[in-house]
Structure 1
Amino acid sequence: MMSLLNSSFRPGRIAVFRALQLGDLLCAIPALRALRRAFPQAHIALVGLPGAREFRERFDAYLDELIVFPGMPGFPEQPARPRELPAFFRGMRARGFDVALQMHGSGGRSNPIVERMGARRWGGFVPDAHAQIPGQRLAWPEALPEPRRYLALLRHCGLDASDDSLEFPCLEADRRDADRLLRQHALNPERLVLMHVGARLPSRRWPLERYADVAQALSREGWQVALTGTSGERSMTAELRRRVSRPLADLSGETTLGSLAVLVRRCRLLVCNDTGISHVAAAMGTRSVIVACGSDAGRWAPLNRRLHSVLAADTPCRPCAFETCPIGHPCALGVSAQQVLARAQGQLEGAHP
């Protein structure tokens, strides 16, 4: 069986289907880097969400284009626009891609989409070993962490792909914007702890009152605690500030993706939920304490467990498929503020400016 990607077949146009959020995209960077290294002259297009435009621009060394996937029922990352699907598939077929890679989960729902793109060859994950094809389709490797899954897929398809390190390129404009925020809020990076209390799904959020206990304790110890998040998360950060008697800087809605990454790089510690910013910290080499509520911690936790301390209560319903927990959120309540504070203190003892 011929490998999908090998020295005898040099694809000129490659489509990568991964219509997921920022953290998911960052976990695919090692595979995208290996793909570009193997095919430096190829036109590589990400087929993804509309919100991935900045991601594509920032990683233009690996990705030449974003093609927006309009969504369909069964894909919860965006509202489905089924009326746009026929034109989307016609456009993909007209582009004449040499290869389409399915990097969007185990393949049960995503493989039919990739097949309809009309590429000369396609590869990706399949749900079970019976559907595996040597050199083209790999049975979903359940036990592997997310970045290593996609490297395994590329190796299965014939490429040399082993570097699992994350990265996040920052620009001079990002650094200037971060400097401005530090001055504006009188923040000293040597004493700065960033706290990110939001997550896209409520089931992935650790309780605000517990974040408040940790913020209060760290502030009393002399650390500057600053809150980050989107403008839509300001109600959460405002509520957290009301619960803490000491001043907390609120940067929610004030950062760009790039300036946030610079702040993460410069701070002493990040405390957050298991969401996209945890992968930014992994890319920046910044110490973090991550509370994994509902998610599959083995799949999504950063690989370096010395720099990144992950707390995940052992509950039988993990990983959670619900937007809001219907049974009282035991995965979140199973992690105490005292546990997170102890991990944070341990990380701060080992952190250097």
Structure 2
Amino acid sequence: MQRRPLFHRLDIDSVAVFRALHLGDMLCAVPALRALRTALPHARITLVGLPWASQFAARFRHYIDDFLPFPGHPLLPEQPVRHEELTPFYASMCARRFTLALQLHGNGGISNEIVAGFGAHAVAGHCQGKPVATERTVLFPYPEVGAESERLLHLVQRLGASAVGDYLEFPLASEDRQELEASGIATGLQPGGYICVHPGARKRDKCWPARRFADVADRLAAEFGVDVVLTGSADEADLAAEVASHMQARAVNAAAPISIGAMAVLMKQARLLVCNDTGVSHMAAGLRLKSVVIFSKADIARWAPLDRDNHRCIWDPDAQRSAAVLQHARALLAGTDPGRQRRAGMWPYW
């Protein structure tokens, strides 16, 4: 006899969700978190993640009640291990007596061992190999195909949640708008009158060449009469400056020490984003900002936004497809009908 889904069998009043990753990966988990909250409206949901993700938890407070920083693991590359914090961390997790520890961090090869140490009454997630189904442990084989957001959403559905949309979100707060205004970066920019070009990525070897970004930005500025805003973190100011140095058009260098939220407000008012495969591509999806995303290393089927009409993904590891990037950017700026583009042979575009 097949067991009922875990959410239907347990009285779940607290959940620890483990996903210790960076911005784009976290945004891909939003549909799963939304479904989790809807399925367990009265449970206290705690995110266990990288220290920076306290910002993520605060931004998504309608899905997340609490946040705990993860001190790291020797086999996880996202952060150095803070060895002195490991014992207190696991002791604190066990003392909280979570009803459920939900592993949303990959195939479970390393993360299931981590989550098992939380001392929760029940554990669920993905695993390698055969499924596990006991009264207190439910692990499904990790899917090797599909978009990241779909994999995570499908997992919580199998546990008993209903999907509440597969779309991404990026909520904006008044503090984000105030910070952008105080920075002066957007002074003189008209909403809808500019495009954002984001030449950086967390790993520089994923970046399309600065000259390619400059060429595309110049052409779009000339053809559509838009201003160009170069976005990025303060650490990417040099890369934004390099792009600007190759441009004929004037560019606003917005790679500055502002928060992700302030940068999101800046992007929200743009007409288009051109970027590498990095976290801002998922932020654009959450903001409903049209984008052209250039891939060179990552699994494009896994990390491309689901909305293929408004987010065009180009596979270009050798930086030879500027014409394709321009073609799709023009179509998005001009509002070309997607059906007509397909008939004209513009798709498939990866």
TM-score by length of 1: 0.89
Q: Is the 8 A contact 2:34 2:164 kept in 1?
A: no
Aligned residues: 333
Distance 1:239 1:185 in 2: 22
The letter of the residue matching 2:334 is E
Map 1:92-241 to 2 at 5 A: 92-128=93-129, 130-133=130-133, 136-178=138-180, 184-221=186-223, 222-241=225-244
Deviation of 1:139 after TM superposition, in Å, equals: 0.8
Structure 2 residue corresponding to 1:340, chosen from 297, 308, 325:
325
Letter in 1 for 2:142: W
Question: Which residue identity is paired with 2:152?
Answer: Y
Q: Which of 275, 281, 306 is the matching residue for 1:278?
A: 281
8 A contact 2:45–2:64 mirrored in 1 = yes
351 and 44 in structure 1: CA distance in 2 versus 1, 3 angstrom threshold:
farther
Matched with 1:265 is 268
Over the residues paired in the alignment, what is the CA RMSD in angstroms? 2.0
- Once the two structures are superposed, residues 39-61 of structure 1 have per-residue CA deviations (whole angstroms, 9 ceiling, x without a partner) of 12211110100000111111111
- Cα displacement (A) at 1:257: 1.8
Matching residue's letter, 1:52: A
SS in 2 for 1:251: strand
**Relative to structure 1, is the Cα distance of residues 60 and 25 closer, same or farther in structure 2, using a 3 angstrom cutoff?**
same
Q: Distance in 2 between matches of 1:310 and 1:289?
A: 6
CA distance in 2, matches of 1:4, 1:119: 18
Instruction: Confirm or deny: 8 A CA contact 1:5 1:159 kept in the other structure.
Output: no
Q: Does 1:288 align with 2:273?
A: no
The answer to whether structure 1 residue 48 and structure 2 residue 36 are counterparts is no
Task: Give CA-to-partner distance per residue, 1:48-77, whole Å, 9 cap, x none.
Answer: 000001111111111111111111212111
SS of aligned partner of 2:301: helix
1:189 deviation in Å? 2.3
In structure 1, distance between residues paired with 2:173 and 2:257: 17
Deviates more, 1:78-87 or 1:182-191: 182-191
Q: What TM-score do you get using the length of structure 2 for normalisation?
A: 0.89
Distance 1:183 1:237 in 2: 14
Task: Write the distance in 2 (CA, Å) between the matches of 1:305 and 1:115.
Answer: 38
State whether residues 39 and 160 of structure 2, in contact with CA within 8 Å, keep that contact through their aligned partners in structure 1.
no
| Cα distance change, pair 184–45 in 1 and its aligned pair in 2 (3 A) | closer
Preserved CA contact (<8 Å) 1:274 1:291 = yes
Q: Partner residue of 1:19?
A: 20
Residue 341 of structure 2 is matched in structure 1 by none
SS at structure 1 position matched to 2:162: coil
Aligned residue for 1:189, secondary structure, equals coil
- The residue type equivalent to 1:308 in the other structure is H
How far did residue 83 of structure 1 move?
3.5
Name the SS of the counterpart of 1:44 in structure 2.
Answer: strand
Partner of 1:303: 306
What residue identity is the alignment partner of 2:48? V
Contact 2:101 2:118 in 1 (8 A): yes
Relative distance call for 1:181 and 1:269 in structure 2 (3 A) is farther
**Separation in 1 of the partners of 2:20 and 2:4?**
25
Task: Please list every run of 5 or more consecutive structure 1 residues that lacks an aligned counterpart in the other structure.
Answer: 314-330
Shift of 1:162: 5.0
Deviation at 1:2, TM superposition (A): 4.4
